[in-house]
Amino acid sequence: MRLLVTGGAGFIGSNFIHYWLNNHPDDEIINLDILTYAGNLENLRDVESSPHYKFVKGDIGDATLVNDLTRGLDLIVHFAAESHVDRSIKDSADFIRTNVEGTRVLLEAAKNNGGIRFHHISTDEVFGALDFNAPKFSEATPYDPRSPYSASKAASDHLVRAYYHTYKLPITISNCSNNYGPYQYPEKLIPLFITNLLEGNKVPVYGAGKNIRDWIHVDDHNRGVELVIQKGRIGGTYCLGGGNEMTNLEITKLILGLMGQSEDQVEYVADRLGHDLRYAIDYAKAKTELGWEPQIDFTLGLGQVVAWYKNNEAWWKRLKKNNGSNN
């Protein structure tokens, strides 16, 4: 099989390429990535000489390039997106251009080149926010995006579904909770806190740290994506969650403990504008239809991630100067 992976030099995309090549060694992957600040070819250094892998630097909004790359493909897996909420609050233009218009360009190319199988990676943030005791997000939850980032992802989800209904394009969508794992750019909460502590700096916790997130290891996520591609109902959506709801303060304390640090290293900062209270995913549909559920214990996985950042100091130190803030 020949597949195009967009945004494959980013955190989740690069882990997906590693996962797919390990589990489908005869397949061919084209990685299309424009290499924004969060794209890093060092993430893929160990596969760059593989005859089954090719990197193309380019913009998913470049219709001519995308159309050329799409010819003869069997599958498009669309990770490419501007994804940091704080950056979208400061300036939403890149989020609309990449996440909405870029997705439209890819869908047009898939449609015009024989109706190529298209899997779209989305987020739980399109559903809005939950109260502490509210039922978890599911595939039936109405969309209620609350930031420019989540609004742009919601728009791209709607576009993908529209191409299924209008043009019968064979699509699937997965909405995931917060990913963690190796190669994550150090502006997100977990790698930011780990690397700050390794540098002897404090960790910035928004507000009182009561906001809740559901965490999924990137390998569990990519295994779920694989199953959606292989077994998912065409036109369907699947929610992939980690079953690990924790407040930001709880996860901060867990990281401090794993790194032998005290709570004196916590610095409470002004809360994010429009900061969603809680995200949580009900993955019952994926479990029932695909046989998928998360397998990696969160504490064990987090400890492995701490070790990865300790052992890859040169990788993240080159990126810290572009650091944003926590999620």
CATH number at residue 261: 3.90.25.10
pLDDT digits (tens, 9 = 90+) for 187-216: 899 999 999 999 999 999 999 999 999 999
94 plus 235 within the same structural domain:
yes
48 is catalytic: no
In a domain, 230, yes or no: yes
Q: Which of 316, 297, 192, 205 is nearest to 253 (CA)?
A: 205
122 plus 232 within the same structural domain:
yes
In a domain, 200, yes or no: yes
125 is catalytic: yes
Q: What is the rounded distance in angstroms from the CA atom of residue 20 to the CA atom of residue 318?
A: 27
Of 82-91, 133-142, 296-305, the range with the lowest mean pLDDT is 82-91
Query: How many helices, marked H, and strands, marked E, lie in the chain?
Result: 12, 12
Q: pLDDT band at residue 325, thresholds of 50, 70 and 90?
A: very low
Q: Higher pLDDT residue, 38 or 283?
A: 283
In a domain, 292, yes or no: no
129 plus 205 within the same structural domain:
no
Averaged pLDDT score across all residues of the chain? 95
Whether pLDDT at 246 is above 90: yes
45 plus 137 within the same structural domain:
yes
Q: Higher pLDDT residue, 240 or 319?
A: 240
Q: What is the rounded distance in angstroms from the CA atom of residue 190 to the CA atom of residue 218?
A: 13
| Alpha-carbon 94 to chain mean position | 17
| CA distances, 245 to each of 28, 70, 210, 281 (Å) | 36, 39, 11, 9
Q: Higher pLDDT residue, 173 or 89?
A: 173
State the pLDDT at residue 327: 45
State the pLDDT at residue 324: 47
Is there a contact between 7 and 27 (Cβ–Cβ < 8 Å)? no
In a domain, 291, yes or no: no
What percentage of the chain reaches a pLDDT higher than 90? Answer: 92
Q: What angle do CA 176, 177, 182 make, to 5 degrees?
A: 95
In a domain, 290, yes or no: no
169 plus 45 within the same structural domain:
yes
Catalytic member of 33, 53, 82, 149: 149
Q: pLDDT band at residue 322, thresholds of 50, 70 and 90?
A: low
What percentage of the chain reaches a pLDDT higher than 70? Answer: 98
134 plus 207 within the same structural domain:
no
pLDDT digits (tens, 9 = 90+) for 254-274: 999 999 999 999 999 999 887
238 is catalytic: no
State the pLDDT at residue 84: 78
42 plus 158 within the same structural domain:
yes
Q: What is the rounded distance in angstroms from the CA atom of residue 62 to the CA atom of residue 66?
A: 6
267 plus 132 within the same structural domain:
no
10 plus 83 within the same structural domain:
yes
CA quadruple 261, 263, 267, 270: dihedral sign: positive
Q: pLDDT band at residue 237, thresholds of 50, 70 and 90?
A: very high
197 plus 224 within the same structural domain:
no
In a domain, 283, yes or no: no
Is there a contact between 280 and 245 (Cβ–Cβ < 8 Å)? yes
130 plus 35 within the same structural domain:
yes
In a domain, 288, yes or no: no
CA quadruple 284, 286, 289, 293: dihedral sign: negative
CATH number at residue 79: 3.40.50.720
Q: What's the total number of domains in the chain?
A: 2
| Tokens, residue 257 | 């403990």
In a domain, 29, yes or no: yes
pLDDT digits (tens, 9 = 90+) for 55-77: 999 999 999 999 999 999 999 99
State the pLDDT at residue 272: 85
For residue 266, the enclosing domain spans: 186-213+246-277+297-322
Whether pLDDT at 89 is above 50: yes
Following DSSP, what letter does each residue of 262-324 receive, concatenated?
A: -GGGEEEEPPPTT---B--B--HHHHHHH-----S-HHHHHHHHHHHHHHTHHHHHTTGGG--
Catalytic member of 33, 53, 82, 125: 125
Catalytic member of 33, 124, 219, 282: 124
Question: What is the maximum span of the chain, computed from C-alpha positions, in angstroms?
Answer: 59
14 plus 87 within the same structural domain:
yes
